[in-house]
Amino acid sequence: MKYLSLLIVLLFVSCATLNSGPAGPDSKPMKDANVILIETSDSVDKSFDKLDVILKGEGFSIKSYNKNELVLETNFKKYNQQKVWLSSNIVQTDSSSIVELSGMVEVPQFQHRKEYGGAKPDVKNRIKKKSSAYNPAWKVMMGIALKYPNGKIWYSRETS
Pick the residue with more confidence: 5 or 145? 145
Contact present, 66 and 35 (Cβ < 8 Å) = no
pLDDT of res. 107: 63
**What is this structure's pTM?**
0.73
* Coil, strand or helix at 52: helix
Please compute the mean of the pLDDT values over residues 137-146 and round it to a whole number: 88
Pick the residue with more confidence: 45 or 29? 45
The count of other CB atoms within 10 Å of the CB of residue 43 is 13
Q: Which CATH number does the domain 2-156 belong to among 3.30.450.20, 3.40.630.10, 3.30.530.50, 3.40.718.10?
A: 3.30.530.50
Contact present, 86 and 65 (Cβ < 8 Å) = no
For 33-85, how does the pLDDT look when each residue is reduced to its tens digit (9 = 90+)? 888 999 999 999 999 999 999 999 999 999 998 989 999 999 988 887 778 88
Say if residue 100's pLDDT is above 60: yes
The CA angle 111-114-115, to the nearest 5 degrees, is: 105
So where are the chain's domains?
A: 2-156
Pick the residue with more confidence: 99 or 157? 99
- Give residue 45's identity as a one-letter amino acid code: D
